[in-house]
Structure 1
């Protein structure tokens, strides 16, 4: 029994005293710099969709009915034409068979369908073709309003997406391409993690604000030598956006997983980067001003 308590005490001592091994990700898993409240965004469905569908349904029903009528009319017309031909040639061709009548009817039906198709194509209004091509009067008015308001691709995305939290703004800055920005963010996340592993502080300086760089440099100095944190996969999501005449702000949530082969550990990526851009300076870069781990 005394030996059992000795072993049990040794196990507890090792469990509590031994250092916890974890992957050394960018920032050391801590929060630095500015912090903002964030929330996921959802795609806002256009309200005109149902109305347009309702407007198109009667036309679709009419087209279906017209198709049915045309089919029945063509069949009846073909059979009637076959009967008339049979009656007309009844005296001259007394040996005509029932199969000959069906052949005449089929020929008449094909001619009738071709004639109807050609006439329908000629009578189709150009307005319908323009509507399918995206040049309907309503769409032209919408395009005109967008041009008048100076809207661009980024502003269009602003109308399609909205924050799930009313307290969190989601106002995309001018000339902002959200998809391209998020794709680039994933690559930058990997690049910055690599610079953190190799202690390449000058590379990190290009991506962060001066105040945040000082905090990160002090944190990196606590680590000895190169680190071996490998990003397995990472995704990026825009969770906040706002701007005024001077500054544009964005918050990106990264989610994924990374590992350290040397330490034999894996961890989830749950980081939020807050970025700012000076709109008063031409071609000013986006800089990370805060990290939430």
Structure 2
């Protein structure tokens, strides 16, 4: 470091070195992610970012953990996309807080009974203690709506950065929710399945 090895370096050389270091870091991070499971089972704990898939995935989400090829947009007349997305963003944050605080009675208001039972088992494995999760840059996208004979289905994808403190770098995530709503006035939207996207 005391010699003049950097004497002839130009700003472009530093940028190239920085780019190489960045690409090496990305390559190592990608290798680590490949070693982790690519998809969580359909009922997996929504806020356990590294959840292990079940041995036999139960597919509340719709048959497999693979993404739906093409979205279906068959919305009923009462459906308002803007207010639906705003409510979904709020529900995501509320569910995260209830999950961290182990408030399963409050989570019950947002999910189907089958999903609640699965989440209770998942949360019990984490222990009773309070967890700390911060979500930054949350983005929500409507992937599809299907007005069926017995209920209305919707699929959403959430993307953001999950942190254990406000100061750590965090980890990017992408997960899709399958939501259902019974026919009739003032029926709530309930989360019926959650898929971790690879």
Partner of 1:172: 75
Asked if 1:38 corresponds to 2:68, the answer is yes
Find out whether 1:249 has 2:172 as its counterpart.
no
The correspondence for 1:216, drawn from 107, 119, 123, is 119
1:73 aligns to what?
none
Larger Rg: 1
Residue 142 of structure 2 is aligned to residue 227 of structure 1: no
Deviation at 1:220, TM superposition (A): 0.4
Question: 1:50-69 alignment to 2 at 5 Å?
Answer: none
1:285 maps onto 2:188 in alignment: yes
Counterpart of 2:7 in structure 1 is none
- Using the size of structure 2 for normalisation, the TM-score is 0.65
Q: Deviations over 1:148-194 (max 9, x none)?
A: xxxxxxxxxxxxxxxxx3xx311112201001110111111111101
| Coordinate RMSD, CA, aligned | 2.4
Instruction: Decide which structure has greater helix share.
Output: 1
What is the rounded CA distance, in whole Å, between the counterparts of 2:103 and 2:126 in structure 1? Answer: 13
Do the aligned partners of 2:155 and 2:177 also contact (CA within 8 Å) in 1? yes
Residue deviations 1:203-249 (CA, integer Å, cap 9, x gap):
11000000010000000011130111111121110112111232100
Q: Secondary structure at the match of 1:248?
A: strand
1:223/1:184 Cα in 2 relative to 1: closer, same or farther (>3 Å)?
A: same
Separation in 2, partners of 1:262, 1:179: 29
Normalised TM-score (structure 1)? 0.45
Q: Which runs of 5+ in 2 are unaligned?
A: 1-35, 37-44
1:33: Cα distance to partner?
5.0
Cα distance in 2 for residues equivalent to 1:227 and 1:265: 17
1:219–1:262 distance in 2 versus 1, CA, 3 Å: farther
What are the within-5 Å matches in structure 2 for residues 182-221 of structure 1? Answer: 182-221=85-124
C-alpha contact 2:132 2:164 (8 A) present in aligned 1? yes
Give structure 1 stretches of 5+ with no counterpart: 1-19, 40-164
Question: Is 1:270 matched up with 2:169?
Answer: no
Change (3 A) 1:27 1:277: same
The runs of at least 4 aligned residues of structure 1 exceeding 6 Å deviation read none
**Distance in 2 separating the partners of 1:27 and 1:231:** 10
Q: Is the 8 A contact 1:259 1:265 kept in 2?
A: yes
> Equivalents in 1 of 2:179, 2:59: separation in Å?
11
Contact 2:133 2:162 in 1 (8 A): yes
Contact 1:27 1:216 in 2 (8 A): no
